[in-house]
């Protein structure tokens, strides 16, 4: 069963929409800048209402950024994500898969990569945190690796992350966008941010088995796949 209809839910629907033994909970708050308590409470109630069925599995998708030290982890959104992860893991059938910035085709303007695309297309100035790191992962690879983890029988009440091998400084991510979209970004730099370390060995092992390369120039390959079409002809 799939709870939700966004990018993540759609990527896993073919495999799990009609599987009574697995509930994919992908109905979270979509804007990391959200601050309204009612929006967080709506997700909490929806997660609490997922029926427990003996032998079934509940898969909640959390965020790798809940442990970032640059203030991001202390936003209302990230505090909420930590609470939801804890709620999922408190269930006998709960499994948490943490994700960084999943990249795919979505109309959501609040994703990091869509935000950067829109700033480059409009030439609108934005602020770049010089010490901040982020990690980009293709939604197709998320779906493939998550499916393997779930179907391989990852124990309930486990917490794993699916991410690229390397988190990149925001300046490097913006430079890749400039190169792929053949446009100059208009930004000011602030001396803020922190590294984003992610334990990715479990995802790496599964990715290797699936012939998915999460290393090297992975971020450039992902950005080119989804944003190369915005380059001038």
Where along the chain do its domains lie? 2-230
**pLDDT at res. 71:** 61
Is the alpha carbon torsion for 201, 206, 207, 208 positive or negative?
positive
**pLDDT at res. 73:** 64
Least confident of 42-46, 52-56, 100-104: 52-56
Q: Are 150 and 210 in contact (CB under 8 A)?
A: no
CATH topology of domain 2-230: Rossmann fold (3.40.50)
Degrees, nearest 5: CA angle 133-137-142: 140
Name, in order, each residue with C-beta under 8 angstroms of 155's C-beta and a sequence gap of 6 or more: none
Average pLDDT over residues 17-28: 91
**pLDDT at res. 27:** 81
Query: What's this model's pTM, rounded to 2 decimal places?
Result: 0.93
Asked whether residue 68 carries a pLDDT value surpassing 80, the answer given is no
Asked whether residue 85 carries a pLDDT value surpassing 90, the answer given is yes
The CA-to-CA distance between both ends of the chain, in Å, stands at 42
Q: Are 61 and 25 in contact (CB under 8 A)?
A: yes
Asked whether residue 74 carries a pLDDT value surpassing 80, the answer given is no
Tokens 């998708």 correspond to 61
Q: What is the pLDDT confidence band of residue 70, given thresholds at 50, 70 and 90?
A: low
């Amino acid at each position: 069963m799939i709870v939700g209809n966004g990018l993540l839910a759609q990527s896993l629907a073919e495999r799990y929409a009609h599987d009574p033994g697995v509930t994919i909970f992908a109905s979270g708050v979509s804007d990391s800048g959200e601050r309204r308590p009612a929006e967080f409470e709506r997700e909490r109630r929806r997660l609490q209402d997922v029926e427990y069925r003996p032998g079934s599995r509940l898969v909640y998708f959390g965020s790798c950024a809940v442990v970032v030290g640059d203030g991001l982890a202390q936003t209302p959104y990230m505090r909420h994500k930590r609470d939801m992860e804890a709620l999922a893991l408190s269930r006998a059938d709960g499994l948490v898969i943490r994700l960084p910035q999943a990249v795919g085709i979505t109309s959501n303007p609040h994703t990091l990569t869509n935000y950067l695309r829109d700033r480059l297309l409009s030439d609108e100035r934005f602020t770049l945190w010089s010490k901040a790191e982020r990690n980009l992962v293709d939604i197709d690879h998320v779906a493939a690796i998550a499916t393997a983890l779930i179907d391989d029988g990852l124990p309930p009440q486990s917490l794993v992350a699916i991410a690229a091998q390397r988190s990149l400084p925001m300046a490097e991510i913006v430079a890749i966008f400039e190169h792929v979209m053949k446009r100059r970004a208009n930004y000011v730099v602030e001396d803020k941010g922190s590294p984003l370390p992610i334990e990715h060995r479990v995802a790496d092992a599964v990715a290797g088995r699936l012939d998915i390369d999460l290393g090297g120039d992975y971020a450039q390959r992902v950005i080119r796949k989804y944003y190369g079409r915005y380059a001038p002809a």
